[in-house]
Amino acid sequence: MQSEPIAREIEIAKKGSVFHSDATQKLLAFASLIVMFIVFSLASPNFARFNNIVGILLSTAVNGILAVGVSFVIVTGGIDLSIGTVMTLSAVMAGVVITFWRLPIFLGLLAGVATGGLCGFVNGTTIAKMKIPPFISTLGMMMISKGLSLVISGTKPIYFIDTPAFRKIAMGTVFGIPYAVLIFFCSAIVANLILTRTVLGRYTFALGSNEEAARLSGINVDRWKIGVYTLGGMFSGLAGLIMASRLNSAQPALGQGYELEAIAAVVIGGTSLSGGEGSILGTVIGAFIMSVLTNGLRILSIPQEWQTVVIGVIVILAVYMDIIRRQRR
Amino acid sequence: MSDVLVLMKGIEKTFPGVHALKNCDFQLRAGEVHALVGENGAGKSTLMKVLTGVYTKDAGHILYKGQEVEIPNPKAAQDLGIAIIHQELHLMPHLTVAQNIFIGREPRKGARFVLDEKQINKDAQDLLDMMHLDLDPKARVADLTVAKQQMVEIVRALSFNSEVLIMDEPTSMLTGTEIDELFRIIRELRSRGVGIVHISHRMEELKQISDRVTVMRDGRYIATVDTHAVTIDKIISMMVGQEIYETARSLPLETNKVVLEVKSLSRAGVLKDISFQLHRGEILSFAGLVGAGRTEVARSIFGADPFDSGQILVHGNEVQIRTPNDAVKYGIGYLSEDRRRYGVMPTMDVETNIVAAALDKFLGSFGWVNKASSRFAAEAQVNDLRIRTPSLEQRVRYLSGGNQQKVVMAKWLVRDCDILICDEPTRGIDVGAKSEIYKLLNDLAGSGKAIIMISSELPEILRMSHRIIVMCEGQITGELTAAEATQERILQYATRRESIARN
Ligand SMILES: Nc1ncnc2c1ncn2[C@@H]1O[C@H](COP(=O)(O)OP(=O)(O)OP(=O)(O)O)[C@@H](O)[C@H]1O
Ligand SMILES: [Mg+2]
């Protein structure tokens, strides 16, 4: 059958289109990132300065880590709206341990990540065991963690003035590059390995692709789902630490709105909200597109309000391209 | 040879509103192929789902190799060595063939949680080679045809090296050579002592492959018999409870008024120069192997797939059909081959599904749906097609596979199209309902509708059609009248590739 002309043509046409569609979105996203970079560099001499580039990298770090974490959840076909405020709660908990209790810094870091993980675990449990839709459970968690941050901190920022080393975590530099940026890249690499090489990653895709099939294959669906949300929460915790270190304080009122920016980055990166596909590289590119755009528009003195409008348009365009790409398949 | 592997006794299972299994028994020996038959909704799938931990039984006992066992979840069944291929495809479309085959038990390396992707692909390739299947382990399942996807399911189930293998209508989406291949594998497994349960509505398969047959009716166990000791007719009468169905014959064609004409329809790499005419009152069959392009022709005419060149004429006028909505406007209906994916809205009730395509017929003033008349229409279809459902409010996802298919059929019948394209209309449908559907198609043709029937079952094609078009690899390779057609001639055209190569 293979030797027949039409059959072969069909095979080739299929393979061609698959390659085409899978590679394009990432190429397209990457190309638009480059184009944006060039356009902004031409438009303003300040854009391509080393300091500004570092600024872009630094501002991508927090949103990027959040986005990388929530990518896992989105690949399962779920959503996590609580990542922004869980990030804040984690920062507050780090503040409590380090500033209030005067315990060693590393315990504070541990507390931050653990807080994020715990919130994720609760999310996962309500979703998997109590069958509450992810949108609702995580919306609840968003409010809970926001409220807890305010209660625990007494609505006031917690400063890390007595522990100068804490600020080094994000803001220390090698060759002028802040640690925060390196931490972001490292966590993206780790996340990519988890998603593509480990059992957890495989089941993340399986859940998003066909949860019932995964269940019938003997996979303990509930347990892995809880695992995915916990992992996502831990990334939020890490983002909270970077944030706190950058600001040298835990700001309990901050955080809401970050979840939507992170989700936007994931979507721009070509991960489908209906689950089953996505990549960390795409998410990283998506996060960069958002911060390059914000930064570039600011340098061109475009008012903040308009920046938001532009990003909104970009999100819609990105998803639309994804849909067109799928139809052609 | 005759050691009993599985013994199920007095199994009870009730779903809300449905008593699906009533005191059901079943016995499977090592090294036998055991056919499980019964009408749509008889409880075959449910019984096997109880055995494989998908459903938990309300009462009864399961003995595995003489030991009483509890099977609370699919994993437990796998661990015991019981594998199942479900009636509905259960694959992860975004993952590759190899990843699907080994999902849930991936080879690991180094640390316990790191996948060994190389090993997965290699093991999958070995399995595929062993079964002489021409599939790329790295291909994404979403990009495969339904038949190939079915093969992936089969390979997956076989790869467990289980002692019990249950196949719920594995052949319903396969044709000729693929079925032969499957049967070859089944025979080999049998000789190795595997106990195999084979559920099928294709009666001729029973004699071909099975050693014993268990018949179920209305959730009850009826009897188990040695296959060689009974006739097919006897089995059918046990299934349906005494009534014997007569096979319908097509009526002579009265007019030759052309209602649909297709001129040199082409689509690069898929279809080449497809031309044919369809007459009023005619049943025109498309025969060919899976992948011959029959479904693609139908989808192009229906506006579900684009085509590169060619014309479509309805009642002599050229029409532009770009979307299914256009097609419906011109009176064309399409019963999709993959009904569960494209045909039903599983979370909606039976009535809504049946009237969905013809909702405008049931609109009263201000655009309200006229509940009484839609209910009446739905009820009529449920009765005509003998759709087994506790009520019109039942969600379609809870119907048995065959009954879901009847719901789709009903949907297009309510719509009342002039031209009806039926892609594998009897796939997965029991003998009784099959002859109902044949009768229905005949009646429709008799009342002046034109019907295109795509089928992979040659007996059905020979019995039903006025004319037969045979396709092979995207081209029409032959056309036969009912009088000329024989199984051999159709197969000859269906595999006639040399002639294409020369063109
Ligand atoms: N999850 C469920 N909820 C409610 N009813 C169900 C469910 N699963 C099956 N049923 C009902 O149980 C009965 C038996 O269904 P089952 O799927 O076992 O039939 P079957 O013999 O496999 O038929 P087919 O040949 O059509 O596949 C049907 O009436 C069906 O509607
Ligand atoms: Mg069934």
Amino acid B285: pLDDT: 93
Residue of A nearest to B78 (CA): A218
- The CA B195 to ligand 2 mean position distance, Å, reads 19
Most confident range (mean pLDDT) of A130-134, B324-328, B380-384 is A130-134
* B388 in contact with ligand 1, CB cutoff 6 A: yes
Residues in chain A within 8 Å Cβ distance of B474: 6, 10
- Do B102 and A217 form a contact (C-beta atoms < 8 A)? no
Amino acid A3: pLDDT: 34
Which residues in B255-279 are b (16+ Cβ under 10 Å) and which e?
eeebbbbbeebbbebbbbebebbbb
Q: Is the pLDDT of residue A21 over 80?
A: no
What confidence tier does B501 reach under pLDDT thresholds 50, 70, 90?
very low
Q: What is the mean pLDDT of residues B56-75?
A: 92
Closest CA to A123 of A114, A133, A113: A133
- Do B18 and B41 form a contact (C-beta atoms < 8 A)? no
Distance CA B136, CA B98 (A): 8
In the structure encoding, which two tokens stand for residue B175, read together? 């044709």
What confidence tier does A15 reach under pLDDT thresholds 50, 70, 90?
very low
How far lies B163's CA from each of B81, B193, B197, in Å? Answer: 5, 7, 11
Strand partners, B167: B85, B198
Distance CA B409, CA B423 (A): 11
| B195-199: strand order across its sheet | B82-85, B164-168, B195-199, B33-37, B212-217, B220-226
Distance CA A135, CA A83 (A): 12
Residues in chain A within 8 Å Cβ distance of B269: 6, 9-10, 12-13
Reported as a single tens digit per residue, the pLDDT across B49-58 is 999 999 999 9
Residue indicated by tokens 């901190």: A153
Angle at A257 between CA A252 and CA A258, to 5 degrees: 80
Instruction: State whether residue A256 is helix, strand or coil.
Output: coil
Give CATH 3.40.50.300 domain extents, chain B: 4-240, 257-331+464-503
Fold held by B4-240: Rossmann fold (3.40.50)
Query: Got the DSSP string for B369-387?
Result: B-HHHHHHHHHHHHHHTT-
Q: Is the pLDDT of residue A126 over 90?
A: yes
Q: At what angle do helices A83-95 and A134-153 cross, to 10 degrees?
A: 30
Mean pLDDT of chain A: 88
Q: CA torsion, points A67, A70, A111, A118, in degrees to nearest 10?
A: 170
Handedness of CA A164, A169, A174, A178 (dihedral sign): negative
Distance CA B452, CA B284 (A): 5
Pocket test for ligand 1, best of B14, B40, B221, B399 (most atoms within 8 A of CB): B399
Distance CA A247, CA B259 (A): 75
Which of A187 and B335 is assigned the larger pLDDT? A187
Closest CA to A67 of A311, A308, A260, A272: A260
Length of chain B in terms of residues written: 503
Distance CA B334, CA A83 (A): 46
Q: What is the mean pLDDT of residues A272-285?
A: 91
Which of A177 and B133 is assigned the larger pLDDT? A177
How far lies A52's CA from each of A61, A68, A180, A317, in Å? Answer: 14, 23, 15, 27
Closest CA to B408 of B352, B347, B343: B343
DSSP A99: I
Distance CA B352, CA B86 (A): 26
Instruction: State whether residue B83 is helix, strand or coil.
Output: strand
Q: What is the mean pLDDT of residues A309-318?
A: 86
Amino acid B486: pLDDT: 84
- Do B241 and B221 form a contact (C-beta atoms < 8 A)? no
For residue B13, the ligand 1 atom closest to its alpha carbon is 12
Distance CA B217, CA B482 (A): 36
Cross-chain Cβ contact A214/B92 below 8 Å: yes
Nearest CA to ligand 1 atom 8: B398
Amino acid A20: pLDDT: 41
Q: Is the pLDDT of residue A159 over 60?
A: yes
Largest Cα–Cα separation, chain B: 74
Q: Is the pLDDT of residue B20 over 60?
A: yes
* Chain A with chain B: Cβ pairs closer than 8 A: 91
Distance CA B267, CA A10 (A): 11
Residue B143 backbone dihedrals phi, psi, to 5 degrees = -90, 0
Amino acid A24: pLDDT: 65
Q: What is the mean pLDDT of residues B282-308?
A: 88
- The CA A326 to ligand 1 mean position distance, Å, reads 34
Q: Is the pLDDT of residue B254 over 60?
A: yes
- The CA B48 to ligand 2 mean position distance, Å, reads 9
B38's torsion region: left (phi>0), alpha (psi -120 to 50) or beta? left
- From A57's Cα to the closest Cα of chain B, the distance in A is 31
* Class level of CATH domain A22-328: mainly alpha
Of A1, A13, A276, the CB nearest to B269: A13
Cross-chain Cβ contact A218/B75 below 8 Å: yes
Distance CA A268, CA A282 (A): 8
Distance CA A111, CA A104 (A): 11
Q: Where are the alpha helices (DSSP H) in A104-257?
A: 105-128, 134-153, 164-171, 179-197, 199-209, 211-216, 221-247
| B475-481: strand order across its sheet | B332-335, B419-423, B450-454, B283-287, B467-472, B475-481
Residue B218: Cβ-neighbour burial (10 angstroms; 0-12, 13-18, 19+): middle
Nearest CA to ligand 1 atom 1: B398
Amino acid A118: pLDDT: 98
* B402 in contact with ligand 1, CB cutoff 6 A: yes
Reported as a single tens digit per residue, the pLDDT across B69-126 is 999 999 899 889 999 998 877 899 999 999 999 998 888 887 778 888 899 999 999 9
Q: At a CB cut-off of 8 Å and minimum separation 6, what does A218 contact?
A: B73, B74, B75, B78, B104, B105
Instruction: State whether residue A271 is helix, strand or coil.
Output: coil
Amino acid B339: pLDDT: 63
What confidence tier does B167 reach under pLDDT thresholds 50, 70, 90?
very high
Q: At a CB cut-off of 8 Å and minimum separation 6, what does B258 contact?
A: B277, B278, B279, B280, B313, B316
* B200 in contact with ligand 1, CB cutoff 6 A: no
Amino acid A4: pLDDT: 37
Of A6, A212, A213, the CB nearest to B272: A6
For residue B47, the ligand 1 atom closest to its alpha carbon is 18
Distance CA B118, CA A67 (A): 30
Amino acid B226: pLDDT: 93
Q: CA torsion, points B486, B489, B493, B499, in degrees to nearest 10?
A: -160
Q: What is the mean pLDDT of residues A134-141?
A: 96
Radius of gyration of chain B measured on its C-alpha atoms: 23
In the structure encoding, which two tokens stand for residue A167, read together? 């600020």
What confidence tier does B374 reach under pLDDT thresholds 50, 70, 90?
confident
Ligand 2 (ion): residues with CB under 5 Å are B 45, 87, 400-401
Which stretches of chain A sit within 8 Å of chain B by CB? 1-2, 4-7, 9-10, 12-14, 18, 197-202, 205-206, 208-210, 212-220, 276-277
Q: Is the pLDDT of residue B247 over 60?
A: no
Query: Got the DSSP string for B452-475?
Result: EEE-S-HHHHHHH-SEEEEEETTE
Reported as a single tens digit per residue, the pLDDT across A206-215 is 999 999 888 8
Reported as a single tens digit per residue, the pLDDT across A99-123 is 999 999 999 999 999 999 999 999 9
- From A326's Cα to the closest Cα of chain B, the distance in A is 12
Residues in chain A within 8 Å Cβ distance of B90: 210, 212-213, 216-217
Q: Is the pLDDT of residue A19 over 60?
A: no
| B67-68: strand order across its sheet | B18-29, B4-15, B59-64, B67-68
Lowest mean pLDDT among A177-181, B227-231, B251-255, B292-296: B251-255
In the structure encoding, which two tokens stand for residue B124, read together? 């999958």
Distance CA B28, CA B48 (A): 12
Amino acid A236: pLDDT: 97
Q: Is the pLDDT of residue B500 over 60?
A: no
Q: Is the pLDDT of residue A278 over 80?
A: yes
* B400 in contact with ligand 1, CB cutoff 6 A: yes
**pLDDT over 90, % of chain B:** 34
Amino acid A328: pLDDT: 56
Residue A319: Cβ-neighbour burial (10 angstroms; 0-12, 13-18, 19+): middle
Count of C-beta atoms within a 10 Å radius of residue B118? 10
Residues in chain A within 8 Å Cβ distance of B268: 9, 13
Which amino acid type is present at position B63? L
Closest CA to A180 of A128, A139, A238: A238
Report which secondary-structure segment, H or E, holds B178.
helix B176-191
Amino acid B410: pLDDT: 86
Q: Is the pLDDT of residue B445 over 60?
A: yes
Length of chain A in terms of residues written: 329
Amino acid B444: pLDDT: 84
Reported as a single tens digit per residue, the pLDDT across B412-437 is 888 878 899 998 888 777 777 777 78
Of A2, A200, A209, the CB nearest to B95: A209
Mean pLDDT of chain B: 85
Strand B114-115 and strand B108-109: the pairing is antiparallel
Reported as a single tens digit per residue, the pLDDT across B347-373 is 888 998 888 877 777 777 777 777 888
What confidence tier does B473 reach under pLDDT thresholds 50, 70, 90?
confident
Q: Predicted ipTM? A: 0.79
Nearest CA to ligand 1 atom 27: B401
Closest CA to B141 of B156, B126, B131, B130: B156
Q: Is the pLDDT of residue A145 over 50?
A: yes
What confidence tier does A6 reach under pLDDT thresholds 50, 70, 90?
very low
Amino acid B499: pLDDT: 47
Which amino acid type is present at position B389? T
Nearest CA to ligand 1 atom 18: B43
Cross-chain Cβ contact B270/A13 below 8 Å: yes
Lowest mean pLDDT among A15-24, A28-37, A59-68, B392-401: A15-24
Half-sphere exposure of A201 (CA within 13 A, CB side): 19
Which of B402 and A69 is assigned the larger pLDDT? A69
- Do B164 and B100 form a contact (C-beta atoms < 8 A)? no
Q: Has domain B257-331+464-503 been given CATH number 3.40.50.300? A: yes
Which ligand has an atom closest to residue B428 CA?
Answer: 1
